[in-house]
């Protein structure tokens, strides 16, 4: 029996977190979302609910890496070989949310190469890991601040490059690994190193809702869902479909969004003034603003898009605040 997912449109509050996730789905190159805050604020529910409304993706049937049959340049080695023999078989499936447990080892994450087999027969045999399962989906890491730093580095490297590269004893294997990385953490349990913080595209702070009316609405909706998931979900089906269509349209027009040169200069000058290290922040602000413009159906980046991008992209990169003192 298929487990019913709580409808995304029925979730009360946490608008900043929802928007950060949506923008990453529109443009995964933004670099993922770090969600900081207390437990029980709907982080996992929101991630799974968003994945549930996304359009199904087309994959190469039988491929453990979920290769896109319409992107021959991004096929894994096996699918590339199969393509030489004829058209690739296709299948459709939902976007996956893949959980990464804190106990995961490096081999479990990146996959393993059978060195002995390779040396004996000359054939590369690769056992796919978590990154292979997450390709074209969402990789969810709860309490990412408790994960070993070098494993967080691995995840961020793969997310940035869109490729998982494994090398053992001079033998290497690579496969596509494009995914939206979502990490959650409770700052009271320890912080991430600043170098790792900066590599997350967006960062949002979440906390329990303080408005009594909204808290009551959360209770009522949750209980109604548990009583009759089918009927409850039907009430929000149209709203979910509208949002899914809006995301799909934004993905289509993303690369057509105009980015005026004066906007690039505004962002560069502002981040210099704020003392943001490196250049990753500049790029993230622009990409986030572009994704927001696409989500809103605009043809060019506006002041509103920049403000949203600033709010989501800069807090974890600032040495000092508030950044409201320096306007775009």
181 by DSSP, 3-state: which?
strand
324 by DSSP, 3-state: which?
helix
Q: How many Å separate Cα 40 from the centre of its chain?
A: 20
| Cα 14 from Cα 205, distance rounded (Å) | 9
| Cα 116 from Cα 125, distance rounded (Å) | 10
| Cα 297 from Cα 293, distance rounded (Å) | 6
Active site residue 317: no
The closest alpha carbon to 24, from 205, 181, 242, 161, belongs to: 181
Choosing from 36, 82, 136, 280, the catalytic residue is: 280
Q: Are 129 and 108 in contact (CB under 8 A)?
A: yes
Neighbouring-strand partners of residue 140: 99, 182
Active site residues: 280
């Amino acid at each position: 029996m298929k487990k019913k997912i709580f409808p995304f449109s029925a979730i009360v509050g946490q608008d900043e977190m929802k928007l950060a996730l949506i923008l990453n789905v529109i443009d995964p190159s933004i670099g993922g979302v770090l969600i900081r805050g207390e437990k029980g604020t709907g982080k996992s529910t929101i991630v799974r609910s968003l994945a549930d409304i996304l359009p199904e993706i087309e994959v190469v049937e039988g491929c453990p890496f979920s290769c896109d049959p319409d992107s021959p340049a991004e096929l894994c080695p096996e699918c590339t070989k199969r393509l030489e023999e004829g058209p690739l078989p296709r299948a459709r499936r939902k976007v996956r949310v893949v959980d990464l447990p804190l106990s995961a080892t490096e081999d479990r994450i990146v996959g393993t190469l059978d060195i002995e087999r390779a040396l004996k027969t000359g054939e590369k045999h690769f056992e796919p890991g978590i990154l292979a399962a997450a390709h074209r989906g969402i990789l969810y890491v709860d309490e990412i601040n408790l994960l070993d730093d070098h494993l967080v580095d691995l995840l961020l490297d793969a997310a940035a490059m869109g490729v998982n590269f494994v090398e053992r004893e001079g033998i290497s294997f690579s496969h596509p690994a494009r995914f939206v990385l979502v990490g959650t953490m409770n700052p009271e349990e320890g912080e991430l190193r600043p170098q790792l913080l900066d590599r997350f595209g967006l960062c949002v702070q979440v906390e329990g809702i303080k408005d009594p009316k909204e808290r009551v609405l959360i209770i009522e909706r949750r209980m109604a869902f548990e009583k009759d998931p089918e009927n409850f979900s039907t009430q929000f089906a149209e709203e979910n479909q509208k949002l899914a269509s809006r995301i799909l349209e934004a993905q289509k027009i993303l690369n057509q969004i105009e980015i005026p040169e004066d906007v690039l200069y505004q962002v560069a000058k502002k981040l210099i003034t704020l003392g943001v290290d490196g250049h990753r922040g500049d790029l993230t602000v622009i990409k986030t603003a572009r994704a927001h413009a696409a989500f809103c159906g605009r043809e060019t980046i506006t002041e509103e898009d920049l403000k949203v991008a600033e709010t989501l992209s800069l807090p974890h990169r600032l040495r000092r605040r508030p950044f409201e003192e320096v306007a775009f």
